[in-house]
Amino acid sequence: MLPQTPPSIISGPLLVMEGSKAWEHRGLSSVCFLSPYDLTELDPVAMFRDVIIQGDVIPEARMAMSCCSTFDDPDTSSKHGHKMFIFGGADLSHKKMTADLFSFDFETRKWERCEIMGGRPPLTINGHSAVMYKGNSISDSFHSNRTGSMWVFGGKAQSYMSELSEYDLDTKIWCSYRKHSPAVHASDLEPPATVIKFYRGKAPSKRYGHSAVVYGDAMYICGGYDQHGLSCGDIHRFDFITHTWSEIHVIHASLTNTHAPLPSFWGHTAVVHGSCMYIFGGKSESGYGNRLFEFSFSSNVMAEIRGEGKTPTPRCGHRAGILRGNMYLYGGSDAATCYSDFYTFDFRSRWWRRQVASDNMTSRARHGGCTYSNRFYVFGGSNGHNFLFNDLKEHVIDRFEESSPNTFLSDILHMLDSDTSFCDITFNIKDSEEENEPKHIRAHKSILAARCEPFRIMFNRDMFESRNGIVNIEDVSYKVFLTLLRYLYGASIPVLYLEEEEATSRRESHDRTLSLPEVLELMRSSDRYLLHHLKRECGKLLQKCVQVNNVISFYRTAQMYNAQELEEYCFRYMLVNFGLMVAPSAPLADPSDADRALLSQLILWMKH
């Protein structure tokens, strides 16, 4: 707890300390009282510090370099230690690009210029990607004790590129990959000093500003800015074992319509958590973005994640990393501002948390960075005004930061999803009569009673369900009822998945998506359980699906469940699109008796 202090005159930023944490309150110029409750209004400060470099080697200032680290589990042994690698980059103010490769040892705190014992590195490039993969090597053999290779793709030199190169950390040899052709030999393509290997399949188009991640034995390339001046929305997979490129057919869990284009962006970030890739921010033809997308490697479903809390402002050129189940994000810029804020995204609660960087941390974008142990590292970058950095900063993530302020909801949700130790009520649900055995969901009476009045009444009365601890649910599907319970435990509503019959099997019951019939069923259930906010959220999802051929059905549904916002939206939609509504073969071209009353009401409104 903060001690109670007398009022003081504050002129400028105020740092408030509690334990090892600091909060910053800006813009105060009058008498101010601070209590522990004031902390809810203040953004904590992310305390960055300069890394004291040992030795004389320091990379030149640069931006738009690639940055990756060797398998950042500090408990995993590696004969070359745990290192961060930066390659390439640019100093655009001097029209200079580099192709040098440096490593930073996290333990010895030394930079080293990496040796090249064979092959040729890629051209001087910026805006490329680089990832580490341990299970492959230039010699085509797998060695469990080898450090691995760094794989570099794309970027921009004098022109846009789609070249794939590999740097073996053990042999220190660069290898260039070319399209496989039976009639072509490596000696025909490059000078003898160049090591050439071949890939199969169709490589991604030339681009820069894309992202690259590793999942399993493959690298995934996402987005970018191509040679035609357009942002990309495709995802490509490179198999490290077979050296084969393939484009992923992404299934878009669209919030608008089944034919919505995939999101396209460059200057975004992509990280891997669990079995999914999470893509944030970036820039496209429509401007800067701050949307978060989740791509499932197993189902190829791309879904937008709607986080709570303080979402980052739209930006590109930021840096993100994963540490202990959270995503951390620093910096970036938009058209007018270069940022120095630091964000945490809790995957369990889907909660964003903002921190302002300490005063020794300059705003920057297009920098390098990675996570290691309990630290987030930032190297180089630009301040947005042609000033480049070559400093290395670190921020120690302490236990306070590992959990968001919404950890109560996160922990409660975890009790429903994973920990049933203290559950005292069981719901039995059959999705269909054909099922022999019902599915079970175990929950907590106290939580449900506090969040939902019908549950409180059920558990308070001397009903069979209250005495026996078992409730049979017969008119709601398992998935919809689980979504309703998770909402009561603090989860956000899954996104709406619009591709119906044939896509339902392909998405493999993706647990963060709902089909259109499932959203309608959730609205009906939320009305039954008096969850008016949930019903309103369902209505907002349905508004995005309204079309001429379904607006009347949605209008009737809204009336049935007293969803006023959806009802008003549908009515306005019919007014604006009245000509389409009464056109031949349209819904009101040959109205039923019930539709005649609606048609008369629409005409009456139009006259006024």
pLDDT digits (tens, 9 = 90+) for 537-575: 899 889 888 888 889 999 999 999 999 999 999 998 888
Record the tokens describing residue 49, joined without a space.
């510090």
Nearest CA-CA partner of 219 in 281, 181, 177: 177
Question: For residues 238 and 179, what is the distance between their CA atoms, to the nearest angstrom?
Answer: 13
Which helix (H) or strand (E) segment is 245 a member of?
Answer: strand 244-247
User: Is 179's pLDDT higher than 60?
Assistant: yes
Among the ranges 8-22, 28-42, 428-442, 455-469, which has the highest mean pLDDT value?
Answer: 428-442
pLDDT digits (tens, 9 = 90+) for 338-362: 999 999 998 887 889 998 888 889 9
Judge whether 189 and 199 are in contact, CB under 8 Å.
no
Judge whether 443 and 482 are in contact, CB under 8 Å.
no
What pLDDT, on a 0 to 100 scale, did the predictor assign at position 508?
A: 40
What pLDDT, on a 0 to 100 scale, did the predictor assign at position 133?
A: 93
Specify the domain boundaries for CATH 2.120.10.80 within the chain: 84-405
Instruction: Quote the Cα angle for 428-430-434, to 5°.
Output: 145
Question: For residues 476 and 383, what is the distance between their CA atoms, to the nearest angstrom?
Answer: 54
| Residue for token pair 């961060």 | 84
Stated pTM of the model = 0.65
Please check whether the domain covering 84-405 is classified as CATH 2.120.10.80.
Answer: yes
Q: How far is CA 360 from CA 289, 392, 393, 394, in A?
A: 27, 12, 9, 11
Among the ranges 210-224, 400-414, 424-438, 495-509, which has the highest mean pLDDT value?
Answer: 210-224
Relative to beta strand 43-46, strand 351-357 is: parallel
Record the tokens describing residue 306, joined without a space.
């709607």
Record the tokens describing residue 574, joined without a space.
């019919």
Question: For residues 215 and 209, what is the distance between their CA atoms, to the nearest angstrom?
Answer: 20
User: Is 405's pLDDT higher than 90?
Assistant: no
Question: For residues 602 and 592, what is the distance between their CA atoms, to the nearest angstrom?
Answer: 15
Specify the domain boundaries for CATH 3.30.710.10 within the chain: 408-607
Q: Torsion angle of alpha carbons 143, 148, 149, 151, nearest 10°?
A: 110
User: Is 594's pLDDT higher than 90?
Assistant: no
Check residue 272 and give left, alpha or beta (phi > 0: left; psi -120 to 50: alpha). beta
In CATH, the number for domain 408-607 is 3.30.710.10
Across the range 458-469, mean pLDDT stands at: 73
By CB neighbour count within 10 A (0-12 exposed, 13-18 middle, 19+ buried), where does 523 fall?
buried
Across the range 517-533, mean pLDDT stands at: 93
Average pLDDT, the chain: 81
Question: For residues 426 and 414, what is the distance between their CA atoms, to the nearest angstrom?
Answer: 17
Task: Report how many helices (DSSP H) and strands (DSSP E) the chain contains, helices first.
Answer: 14, 41
What pLDDT, on a 0 to 100 scale, did the predictor assign at position 463?
A: 63
User: Three-state SS for 448?
Assistant: helix
pLDDT digits (tens, 9 = 90+) for 361-386: 999 999 999 999 889 999 999 998 88
Q: Which pLDDT band, with edges at 50, 70 and 90, does 30 fall under?
A: very low
What pLDDT, on a 0 to 100 scale, did the predictor assign at position 581?
A: 84
Handedness of CA 152, 157, 163, 168 (dihedral sign): negative
